[in-house]
A and B are shown apart, each in its own frame.
Chain A
Amino acid sequence: MNPVVEVVDNSFIFIVAISVLLLVGITIAMIYFVFRYSEKNNPKPDQSITGNTTLEVVWTVIPLLLVMAMFFYGYIGFRDIRNIPPDAMVVKVTGRMWVWSFEYENKKKSDTLLYLPVGRNVKFELSSADVVHSFYVPAFRVKEDCVPNRTNYMWFHTSQEGTYDVFCAEYCGMNHSYMLGKVIVITEKEFLEWVRVPDTLKTDTLKTTTTSVVAPMTGEVKADTSKTAGDKKDTIKTNTKDTLLRRENK
C-alpha cells in the first residue's frame, strides 16, 4: 500500500467521521426541537433562557480540540507528502498549453506518457513553459502547481504496476480539460530498457487527447511505446551517478 495514499485517505475518513457525527447531532437536535417545542406542544416559551456560559465554553473548547486534532492529522500527512525520500529518482515535468512533457535524468524525454519503475520513490520537479498548470495524479493523492520561472516539487511512491490518470488541475485555457496524461508503472527491468532507448519523443508523442479539441475522452491512451522497449539500440551512455540505476536500500 502506498503510504501517502493511506495517510490521506485516513485523514479524510477521520475528518468526515467527526463531521458526520456533528452534522447528525445538529440536524437531529434542530428537528427534535422544532417538533418538541412547537406552538402546539409548548404553548409557553421559556423566556428565562438567554444563554449559558458553561455550554458556550463546552461548544468552543470541544470543537477547538477536534479541529486541532484534524489540523495535526493533516499536518502529519503533509509531512509525508512533502518530505522526499533521499533515494528518489528525479523526473522533470513541464506543463505547456496543453501537453505534459517529462524529462528523465538521462535526458530522455517523453510527452503525455510518464513511464516509471514499480516500487520506486519518484521526485518531480515541476515547471511551466507558459501559464500556471497543476500536475495532478489522483491515484497517488498528490498535486502541485507548475508555475513559470520557478520549480515546485512533489513526489510519490510507485507501489503497484498499472496505468494511472494525470490531469491538469489548474485552469489553463481552452483545452485545459484535454491536458491529460498517464502514469504507466512498469517493472524495473522494462523501465530500464525503455529509458535507455534514445529520445523517441518525435515518434512516441501521443496526442490522441490533445490535438482534437472536441474529441470525447476515451479514458485510455492508445499508443503503446513499450514496443520500442524491446529495441536493444542503446546509444545513451548510462551515467553511473544516475539515480535511476540505484538500487533501493531498505
Chain B
Amino acid sequence: MTDTLAAHEGSYLEYEGRHKGILGWVLSTDHKRIGLLYLSAIMVFFFVAMTLGVMMRLEMLTPGETIMKPQTYNSIFTLHGVIMVFLFIIPAIPAVFGNFIMPIQIGAKDVAFPRLNLFSWYLYMTGATLAIISLFTGGGAADTGWTFYVPYSIRSAQNVSFTTLAAFVLGFSTIVTGLNFIVTIHRMRAPGMTWFRMPLFAWGLYATSWIQVLATPVIGITLFLIILERLLGVGVFDPALGGDPILYQHMFWIYSHPAVYIMILPAMGVVSEILPTFARKDIFGYKQIAISSLGIALIGYLVWGHHMFVSGMSDTARIVFSLLTFLVAIPTGVKIFNWVATLYKGSIKFSAPLYYVLAFIFIFSIGGLTGLVLGALATDIHVTDTYFVVAHFHYVMFGGMGIMFFATMHFWFPKMFGKMYNEKIAVIACTIIIVGFNILYFPMFIMGYMGMPRRYYDYLPHLQGWHILSTVGSWILVAGIVFMFGNLLYALLKGPKAARNPWGGTTLEWRVSSPPTVENFDEIPVVTGGPYVHDKPTYIMQPSKELVHENGDKLKGETLKAH
C-alpha cells in the first residue's frame, strides 16, 4: 500500500503502444481510453441536446411564434429527446465510468472482451453519425417525439427511418457493453472479492447490464419494424393496414420503461460510492442496497403499462400496472433511506462530490415522489401527457442521472486525469445548478396540473407567467453547467496534480496511481474485506510481497497461496 507501488509503467494517458497519437486512442482496447473516447463523444452530444432544450424554452417564452415555426419546434423536441436519451443518459455513466472505473474496482486489468468494448464504441459512433445524417437528408429531422408513436411515425414525411435506424444501431452498442460488463463482473473479480464484497457501483452496473441485454433487443426489433412499415407497409402497427398502434406502444415501453432503470441504476451505484467515502464510514445496509438494485431491475420490467393508462388498454391491465408501479417505489425508497442513514454518526468531510450527491437526493426524491402521482390511476389520467410528466421525468432523469453524472465527474476526475479542480467553484456551480434546475422544472408541475399538454408549440396566455419563470430557470441552469464544466476544463489543462487518494476512498481504484497505469495493477490484488471498511485495510495490493507489507487480516502466506 505504499506509494512505491506506483507503476513500473507510465500512466495510461501517456502510454505509447503499437499506435501513436490519435490512432493510439481510436484503436486502443484499454478500457480507460475507451471510457474517455465515450466521454468526449458524450459531452459533445450533451451540449448539443442542452442547446436544443434551451431553444425550446426560448420558444415558450411567449405564446405564438417566438423564435421558430411549429415544424422546427417539433423536430427540436424530438432531437432533444433522442439525443439526450440514446446518446447521453443511457450510455453516459456505464460507458464512461463503468468502463473506466469498474474493472479497477473489481481488481481486473481490463474488461472481459476488450476488442468488443472498442467495437461497441464504434457502434455508438455509427449510430450517432446516422442520427446526424438524418438531420440533413430526406425530409429533414424527425418530428415524432423520441417515442416514435405510430401511426404518426409512419405517416410523417420527415426522415424518421434514419433516426430510428440510428437508435437501432445504438441499441447494439448498449447490448454489447452490457454483455461485456456481465461477463467481466462474473469472471474477472480479484481473488477474495465475493459478490458481497463488490463495490455498489459494480452492483448497479451489473443490474443495469442485465436490463440492457434483455430489454434492448425489444426496442431494436420494434424500431426496425417501423422502418419496414415505412418502406414496405408491412402493416404490423399501421391500423390502415390492419396493424395495431397499441401493440407498438406496448413494445416501445417494454424496453423504454426498463431503460429508465438503465439510466438511473449506475447513478445510484455512484451515490453508494460517494456517501461512505465522505462520511468516512461503512455504507448503511450494504446488502439491502445491492439487492434493491436487482429488485428495481426485476420489477422495472413489469411496469411499462403505466405509460399507457389512457391509451385504451383494458381497465384490468391498468389496475395491475398501477399496483406494480407502486411496488417499484419500495426498493427505490429503501436505497434513499439507507443513503441518508449512512451519514448518521459519520465524520463527514464536506466536499464537491458529496454536495452534488446531496443535491441529487433532494431533487431525485421530488422526482420519485411525483412519480406516485403518475402511478395512481385517478391522478395519472388527468396529468399524463401534460407538463407534469415533463417535470417528473426531468426531475428523475436530469435531476437523477444528470446531476449524478456531474457528481461522478467530480468524484473520479482526479483519478481519471490525475488533476485536481477548484472545489469551491464546483460547489458554487452546483448551487447555481440546483437553483436553476428547480426554477426551470418546478413550474412545469404546476402548469401540468393546470392542464398544459406536453409537446405544445403554443399555449394559452394565462400560463405565460409560469413559462417565463421556467425559461429564466433554464438560463440559470445553463450558466451553472457551463461554469461547472469550465472549472473542470481549466483543471484538466492547468490544475494541480491530484494525489492517489484525494478523498480517502476505500475501494480499489483509490489504491492505484492517479491516473492509473496501463494495466491498472502490478499484481492482481487480494481482497480480504468489504468495499467500504475505513478502519482497516481490506486489500493486499502485492500478494507476492505480502509479508513485507502491512497485513490487514492477519493472513498467513499459506492462506494467500490458496487464492
Query: Which residues of A are in contact with B by a Cβ distance under 8 Å?
Result: 7-8, 11-12, 15-16, 18-19, 22-23, 26-27, 29-31, 33-34, 37-39, 42-47, 49-52, 55-56, 59-60, 63-64, 67-68, 70-71, 73-78, 80-82, 130-132, 134, 136, 138-139, 141-145, 147-150, 152, 165, 167-178, 213-219
A59: chain B residues within 8 A (beta carbon): 333-334, 337
Of B64-72, B225-233, B490-498, B509-517, which stretch is located at the interface? B64-72
B354: chain A residues within 8 A (beta carbon): 34
11 A-B contact pairs sorted by A residue (CB < 8 Å): A30-B361, A45-B279, A51-B286, A52-B341, A64-B330, A67-B329, A74-B377, A138-B386, A145-B310, A173-B74, A177-B458
Contact call B322/A74, Cβ cutoff below 8 A: yes
Give complex CA distance A27, B372 in Å. Answer: 18
B338: chain A residues within 8 A (beta carbon): 51, 56
With A75-B322, A169-B384, A171-B152 known, 19 other A-B pairs at CB within 8 A are: A23-B366, A26-B365, A33-B348, A37-B348, A42-B348, A47-B282, A50-B282, A51-B284, A56-B288, A74-B322, A78-B315, A134-B385, A148-B240, A176-B74, A178-B458, A214-B69, A216-B65, A216-B461, A217-B461
Contact call A81/B381, Cβ cutoff below 8 A: yes
Contact call A74/B348, Cβ cutoff below 8 A: no
Of B46-54, B100-108, B186-194, B445-453, which stretch is located at the interface? B445-453
Q: How far is the CB of A55 from chain B (nearest CB, A)?
A: 7
Known: A216-B63, A217-B63. A12 touches B449 (CB 8 A): yes
B3 within 8 A of A: no
B151: chain A residues within 8 A (beta carbon): 130-132, 148
Contact call A37/B239, Cβ cutoff below 8 A: no
Candidates A11, A70, A77, A176; contact of B457 at CB < 8 Å: A176
* Interface pairs A-B: 10 shortest CB-CB: A77-B378, A138-B451, A74-B376, A216-B64, A78-B377, A19-B369, A33-B343, A177-B456, A149-B239, A46-B345
Give complex CA distance A247, B282 in Å. Answer: 71
Q: Which residues 327-343 of B have a CB within 8 angstroms of A? A: 327, 329-330, 333-334, 336-338, 340-341, 343
B461: chain A residues within 8 A (beta carbon): 216-219
Known: A33-B348, A149-B239. A23 touches B381 (CB 8 A): no
Give complex CA distance A197, B505 in Å. Answer: 79
Contact call B460/A141, Cβ cutoff below 8 A: no
Give complex CA distance A29, B534 in Å. Answer: 23
**CB-CB contacts of B336-361 with A at 8 A, as 1s and 0s?**
11101101111111100010001001
Q: How far is the CB of B80 from chain A (nearest CB, A)?
A: 14
B70: chain A residues within 8 A (beta carbon): 174-177, 213-214
B455: chain A residues within 8 A (beta carbon): 171, 176-177
Contact call B281/A49, Cβ cutoff below 8 A: yes
Q: How far is the CB of A81 from chain B (nearest CB, A)?
A: 6
B346: chain A residues within 8 A (beta carbon): 33, 37, 42, 45-46
Tell me the count of chain B residues lying within 8 A, CB to CB, of chain A.
94
Residue of A nearest to B456 (CB): A177
Contact call A34/B348, Cβ cutoff below 8 A: yes
B468 within 8 A of A: no
Q: How far is the CB of A7 from chain B (nearest CB, A)?
A: 6
Contact call B341/A55, Cβ cutoff below 8 A: yes
B558 within 8 A of A: no
Q: How far is the CB of A183 from chain B (nearest CB, A)?
A: 12
Contact call A177/B343, Cβ cutoff below 8 A: no
Q: How far is the CB of A83 from chain B (nearest CB, A)?
A: 10
Candidates B362, B379, B453; contact of A74 at CB < 8 Å: B379
Give complex CA distance A214, B69 in Å. Answer: 7
Q: How far is the CB of A9 from chain B (nearest CB, A)?
A: 9
Q: How far is the CB of A41 from chain B (nearest CB, A)?
A: 9
B109 within 8 A of A: no
Contact call A75/B319, Cβ cutoff below 8 A: yes
Q: How far is the CB of B115 from chain A (nearest CB, A)?
A: 40
Q: Which residues 257-314 of B have a CB within 8 angstroms of A? A: 279-288, 310-312
Candidates B69, B152, B358, B369; contact of A172 at CB < 8 Å: B152
B45: chain A residues within 8 A (beta carbon): none
Give complex CA distance A204, B535 in Å. Answer: 81
A12: chain B residues within 8 A (beta carbon): 373, 379, 382, 449
Give complex CA distance A12, B375 in Å. Answer: 11
Contact call A30/B343, Cβ cutoff below 8 A: yes
Q: How far is the CB of A16 from chain B (nearest CB, A)?
A: 7
Give complex CA distance A70, B375 in Å. Answer: 9
B143 within 8 A of A: yes
Candidates B74, B334, B382; contact of A8 at CB < 8 Å: B382
Residue of B nearest to A142 (CB): B381
Give complex CA distance A68, B330 in Å. Answer: 11
Contact call A144/B312, Cβ cutoff below 8 A: yes
Contact call A142/B282, Cβ cutoff below 8 A: no
A136: chain B residues within 8 A (beta carbon): 385, 451, 453
B459 within 8 A of A: yes
Contact call A75/B377, Cβ cutoff below 8 A: yes
**CB-CB contacts of B383-421 with A at 8 A, as 1s and 0s?**
011100000000000000000000000000000000000
B334: chain A residues within 8 A (beta carbon): 56, 59-60
Residue of B nearest to A133 (CB): B152
A16: chain B residues within 8 A (beta carbon): 373
Candidates B350, B365, B453; contact of A34 at CB < 8 Å: B350
Known: A26-B365, A134-B310. A213 touches B378 (CB 8 A): no
Give complex CA distance A101, B456 in Å. Answer: 20
Known: A45-B281, A74-B380, A171-B455. A23 touches B326 (CB 8 A): no
B156 within 8 A of A: yes
Candidates B144, B284, B288, B379; contact of A49 at CB < 8 Å: B284
Q: How far is the CB of A176 from chain B (nearest CB, A)?
A: 6
Q: How far is the CB of A22 from chain B (nearest CB, A)?
A: 6
Candidates A23, A134, A141, A165; contact of B365 at CB < 8 Å: A23
B483 within 8 A of A: no
Most buried by B among A23, A51, A141, A148: A51
B344: chain A residues within 8 A (beta carbon): 33, 37, 49
B312: chain A residues within 8 A (beta carbon): 144-145, 147, 150, 152
Contact call B280/A63, Cβ cutoff below 8 A: no
B323 within 8 A of A: yes
B561 within 8 A of A: no
Q: How far is the CB of B69 from chain A (nearest CB, A)?
A: 7
Contact call A74/B375, Cβ cutoff below 8 A: yes
Give complex CA distance A65, B187 in Å. Answer: 40
Give complex CA distance A16, B225 in Å. Answer: 40
A51: chain B residues within 8 A (beta carbon): 284-288, 338
Give complex CA distance A218, B345 in Å. Answer: 58
B563 within 8 A of A: no
A47: chain B residues within 8 A (beta carbon): 281-282, 533-535
Residue of A nearest to B144 (CB): A171
Q: Which residues 229-249 of B have a CB within 8 angstroms of A? A: 239-240, 245-246
Most buried by B among A34, A64, A144: A34
Give complex CA distance A43, B279 in Å. Answer: 11
Give complex CA distance A58, B399 in Å. Answer: 27
